[in-house]
Amino acid sequence: MSKSLRLSEKWFRRGLWLVALVFAGFLIGLGSTIVGDLPQVERVRTIEDFIDHRAADPLRATVKASEAAELQASRDLDQIRLQLQAAQQAGANARETFGNWIATRRATAQPDQDPELIARTKALDAIKQKEEAVQRQVNAQQQRMLDARQAEQRARTTLAELERDAQVKLDAEYRRIELRVFAYRLALTLPLLVVAGWLFVKKRKSTWWPFVWGFILFALFAFFVELVPYLPSYGGYVRYVVGIVLTVLVGRYAIVALNNYLARQKLAEQQPDQVRREELSYDTALARLDKGVCPGCERPVDLKNTAIDFCPHCGIGLHDHCEVCETRKSAFSRFCHACGASATSSEADAKSFTPRTPPQPAT
């Protein structure tokens, strides 16, 4: 096809294709922005929207109070342990002093009536009692910490069950949101694809074809890039079914188009030779000849064979002779390549034609 175009026409077509691509690029950018902002029409949901607050709020308060009680008990325990260490150290020192004193004192006949021995023994008992009292405080604080920790664990376990139930509801809601957003995208892109199909069938060869092709490229990108990746899966069933439906639709269109084309070709091949050539556009005929096929039936023909003037498949004339100079030329040429006469020249032009004589070689 390109060899049948004028040089300026080639560059104009290339520029118009560039216009189509630029136009499609801007449309794609606008469409991507709109499609990307579609999820914003849905409110963002969180787990708090689905959890049972009547059951969860007291549990959270219990967790918070238990954490505070455990923290306070831990601080108090640290202080009491210091007191216990001091009491234990004091008791150890007192017992060591008492042992040394016992070793050095002079034994009496009646130790139970020794006032100093009784006083020291009572002092040791008092220190021991104080140490035991501090130890009981330590045990009480440890018990408080254990109760607070266990209460926190029970509350967290129950709260986790509530949050799991809420997460299941949140996931289900997000699946519904994805389906709604997909429906929005489908409602936006499917009409574009329908319009693009109509433009392809009716307007792709019109004067404004660059904008038509730009819109077609944009619609294809919007459908297959902006929509298909968000197609729900459900284990692949939806995508496979959609793929089957699209394949059937495209295949049916191709089969119908092929049958219609063959019917048109069969009908055209029954027309007279002159009528068939007149129905073929000049550019179409040249493009098919350039590919080495018959302009009428599009079957391969050896056009370089000078003995072939008609298509052996459909019988359409491929070569004829100029009515003026009798030179063999393409039947689809508008002018003779040898004398420049129009292909529609009359017999009067042929009679007035003076053939050119080749120059004589110099002697």
Could you report the per-residue pLDDT of 275-308, keeping only the tens digit for each? 777 777 777 888 888 888 888 888 888 888 888 8
Residue 361 in domain = no
What's residue 347's pLDDT?
A: 42
Q: Which of 46-55, 187-196, 223-232, 313-322 has the lowest mean pLDDT?
A: 223-232
Whether 204 and 255 share a structural domain: no
Residue 37 in domain = yes
Whether 257 and 280 share a structural domain: no
| Helix%, strand%, coil% for the chain, nearest 5 | 70, 5, 25
**Residue 270 above 80 pLDDT?**
no
- Domain of 327 in residue numbering reads as 273-355
Domain count, the chain: 3
What's residue 302's pLDDT?
A: 85
Burial class of residue 84, CB neighbours in 10 A (0-12, 13-18, 19+)? buried
Average pLDDT estimate for 207-234:
81
Whether 286 and 266 share a structural domain: no
Residue 82 in domain = yes
Whether 93 and 119 share a structural domain: yes
Residue 360 in domain = no
Residue with tokens 């899966």: 233
Whether 37 and 161 share a structural domain: yes
Of 206 and 154, the structure prediction assigns the larger pLDDT to: 154
DSSP 280: S
Mean pLDDT of the chain: 79
The pTM score is: 0.51
CA 195 to chain centre: 24
Residue 52 in domain = yes
Whether 87 and 199 share a structural domain: yes
Share of the chain above pLDDT 90, in %: 0
> In residues, how long is the chain?
363
